[in-house]
Amino acid sequence: MQMKNLKKTDPQIYKLIKAEEMRQRDVLEMIPSENYTSLAVMEALGTVLTNKYSEGFPKKRYYQGNEVIDRVEMLAQERAKKLFGVPYVNVQALSGAPANSAVYFAVLENGEKLMGLSLAYGGHITHGHKLGLSGRLFKFAHYTLDEKKETLDYDEIEKQVLKEKPKLLICGFTAYPRKIDFKRFAQIADKVGAYLMADIAHIAGLIVAGVHPSPVPYAHIITTTTHKTLRGPRGALIMVTEKGLKKNPALPQKIETAIIPGLQGGPHDNQTAAIAVALKEAATPKFKKYGQQIVANAKALAEELKKYDFDLVSGGTENHLILIDLRNKKVNGRVAAIALEAAGIVLNYNGVPGDTMPPLFASGIRLGTPAITTRGMKERDMKKIAAWYNEAIKEVEGWNVPKDDNRFDKLTTREKRSSLMKEYRAKIAKNKKLAAIAKEVRLFCTKFPVP
């Protein structure tokens, strides 16, 4: 991007943006929720549409001058409806968290119960965590994973749902590497008369590409972000299915009321246009091949990592992400994430099933293949990437931090962790092997231009 006007007006911001461009170019971006948008999507974001205020919905605005904006929003809606095969789509939620919150406000009264996967087992903070909005306004219950298989146990989930009787059951996760049986979830929800909401933020692009089952025949409501595997801008979709309309024909109106005045004012029209562009791109045969390659790369990488004795949660992956339990390597997930970043590999530390560490010092790491697939990497490249993981982790093997201990007060434990992390960061910054890997990664990345 040239950004001539920005360079002249605000050289500080210009330099920071160029620095971020360089960072994204020179590293392996492997956070599974991140991706590179197309240039067309970025161009749509930076247009005169950002100047407009369009509070309300098409043909029902509170401001004049929205004839073009109405057409943009309706085009985005129609493209989403066609792509996913649903009768209603709202494109105004600013991101995934407000989209989920809008659904809760639409179908729940204060104090009613929702149920989702526990955060400690791969659920999302918006699915009923006590510190999130849903956890403060509504009652919540959680299901977990089978402790041995580290996968969903649908029979056990059914028992928990029959016991808890939630009004809203959520399926869809932030750190689950296996396919979701939406049909089985629907059978469970129907037994207690609950709404079934599928949060497909991570897997929407895989569903469009046909490499993951669709929740459309089974869920009442579907939410998704538009970035991640869809490669769009930061944004969200809220969809109501035919099954949802049959259960409650008023769902679209309830969702619209939850969006405005419930949670937001006017939508970001430049974002809406960029979503429309991404949806058009996702409807192409090229995108289908792209989704297939994401999964092929993830499976290939998983197999290579297992050769180095990495403990993969559930034993592997069926989608775009891999979750690694590092306890057998005796290294804390946060330490590993810092070391890998120093080696030019960017991911995030993450809790794993049965984790006894607090979230800030989780025992695992979460990685994914969407962004590196966007750059054109294939299965053959996963062998080299796995080797770099192994080399980097070897440099910090045994670097752990203390868990909470009842023999000491929490302040003492925090101080010990803080002291150790300071020591670890200093050592990582000076580690010549990690710096050498980062140099290899930079050279490798030159073969795969950022779109």
* Max Cα-Cα span within the chain: 67
In this structure, are residues 230 and 203 in contact, taking their beta carbons and an 8 Å threshold? no
Q: Which of 228, 243, 299, 327 is catalytic?
A: 228
Residue 234 a catalytic site member: yes
Q: Which of 225, 241, 317, 369 is catalytic?
A: 225
**Segments in 87-177 forming alpha helices (H):** 96-107, 133-137, 154-164
Residue 9 a catalytic site member: no
Residue 327 a catalytic site member: no
In this structure, are residues 347 and 338 in contact, taking their beta carbons and an 8 Å threshold? no
Residue 225 a catalytic site member: yes
Residue 308 a catalytic site member: no
Q: Which of 179, 234, 416, 425 is catalytic?
A: 234
Phi/psi at 381 (5° precision): -80, -15
Tell me whether residue 48 is exposed, middle or buried, using C-beta atoms within 10 angstroms of its C-beta: 0 to 12, 13 to 18, 19 or more: exposed
Q: Which of 26, 34, 43, 55 is catalytic?
A: 55
Positive or negative torsion for Cα 402, 135, 170, 370: negative
Residue 243 a catalytic site member: no
298's tokens: 């993830």
In this structure, are residues 170 and 142 in contact, taking their beta carbons and an 8 Å threshold? no
Tell me whether residue 202 is exposed, middle or buried, using C-beta atoms within 10 angstroms of its C-beta: 0 to 12, 13 to 18, 19 or more: buried
Helix-, strand-, coil-residue percentages of the chain, each rounded to 5: 50, 10, 35
Residue 369: alpha-carbon gap to chain centroid: 12
Place of tokens 């929003």: 73
- Report d(CA 69, CA 269) in Å as an integer: 7
In this structure, are residues 105 and 262 in contact, taking their beta carbons and an 8 Å threshold? yes
Q: Which of 53, 184, 341, 414 is catalytic?
A: 53
| Catalytic residue numbers, as ranges | 53, 55, 199, 225, 228, 234
